Amino acid sequence: MSILPDSYLTYARRHAGPDHDYYPASPIVDRAPLTLPRAALLGLWVVVPLEFFPLNPTGQPFKTPGAMQTPYPDLRHYTTRDYGNRVGAYRLLKLFGKLGLRATFAVQGAVAERYPGLVRDVLADGHNICAHGWDTDSLHHSGLSVDQENSFITRTLDALHSVSGTRPDGWISPARAEGFATPARLAANSIRWFADWAHDDLPTTFQTQEGILAALPLSNELDDWQILINYTRPEQEWAIQVRDAADWLLDEAKRLNSPRLLTLTLRPFVSGLPYRIKLIEEGLSGVLRRSDVSVVGPDDLLNLLSL
């Protein structure tokens, strides 16, 4: 029985390069070497999401990872997530201070509105911030109208602006979810870089109908949620995997004479737990103590692209 139309075997986008117009094909081995700050061979970029998980999520168009799971009121998951903004984030800030590591905190508008003191503490410690959407239940997808999506973006940027005094130019979408038009709408709202796509290990340019964005690399496979929660690996293995990644990337950078980036996401409610923080420290300090490693931030990465 066939219920598939013959159009199921027509392939409108079967041509050289990807099946979209956002960026062209570019094998990493063919690219000119980048120059990292302080002539480092490996740049370490750490991203810390500050998220708000509402107790009454709509779950539309999908339930965001980490959202409420039990029947309302799911105080168990609400408070374990809120722990991150109260305790875990401060544990990470203390660790970063000890290591001299400048991170990028991806802040949701609802966090800036609810916990402005947390955002001020992050900034006072010298870290960068970027926008991370309104909250974990305000997902960007193709079903949003232009006005709905623009209001998610502007409301978020306004909330961060009012706390920090600066309008962010960087963006990570909640759950790294986008609609087809999201990159263009970000560009139209003066966003310069975003880090939703995981298509590369190095910064790339990303074409939208409203101008060019910088797509910064952010590993999904080395993300703390991926390793510790999705793959249920213990934190000792997170530290080993980070070490193995740094070893490989440094060796590859030397062999190919082409610097590499190690990008890590640390969630305060995941990595900031008492039994994990020392192993997070072990992983990070193991990377930082090598020669030829430099901590980098969005500005460093934007400088690598001729935008």
User: Which chain residues interact with other proteins by CB under 8 A?
Assistant: 1-4, 6-9, 11, 13-20, 25-30, 61-62, 141-143, 173, 176-180, 196-201, 219-222, 230-233, 237, 240-242, 244-249, 252, 260, 262
Euclidean distance between the first and the last CA atom of the chain, given in angstroms as a whole number: 53
Identify which of residues 244 and 299 has a Cβ nearer to other proteins in the complex: 244
Question: How many other CB atoms sit within 10 Å of the CB of residue 263?
Answer: 22
Per DSSP, the three-state class of 48 is strand
CB of residue 136 to other proteins, shortest distance in Å? 14
Q: Is 69 exposed, middle or buried (0-12, 13-18, 19+ CB in 10 A)?
A: exposed
Identify which of residues 86 and 141 has a Cβ nearer to other proteins in the complex: 141
CB of residue 218 to other proteins, shortest distance in Å? 10
Identify which of residues 25 and 124 has a Cβ nearer to other proteins in the complex: 25
Do 106 and 134 contact (CB within 8 A), yes or no?
no
Alpha helices in the chain (DSSP H): 75-83, 89-99, 109-114, 116-124, 146-164, 182-188, 224, 235-256, 268-271, 274-288, 298-303
Identify which of residues 3 and 124 has a Cβ nearer to other proteins in the complex: 3
Identify which of residues 62 and 72 has a Cβ nearer to other proteins in the complex: 62
Residues 123, 56: Cα–Cα separation, whole Å: 30
CB of residue 258 to other proteins, shortest distance in Å? 12
CB of residue 87 to other proteins, shortest distance in Å? 28
In order of 22, 111, 305, the CA distances from 227 in angstroms are 29, 25, 30
Identify which of residues 36 and 159 has a Cβ nearer to other proteins in the complex: 36
Do 136 and 57 contact (CB within 8 A), yes or no?
yes
CB of residue 239 to other proteins, shortest distance in Å? 11
CB of residue 22 to other proteins, shortest distance in Å? 9
Residues 155, 176: Cα–Cα separation, whole Å: 18
CB of residue 183 to other proteins, shortest distance in Å? 10
Identify which of residues 111 and 253 has a Cβ nearer to other proteins in the complex: 253
Per DSSP, the three-state class of 106 is strand
The pair of structure tokens assigned to 237 is: 């293995």
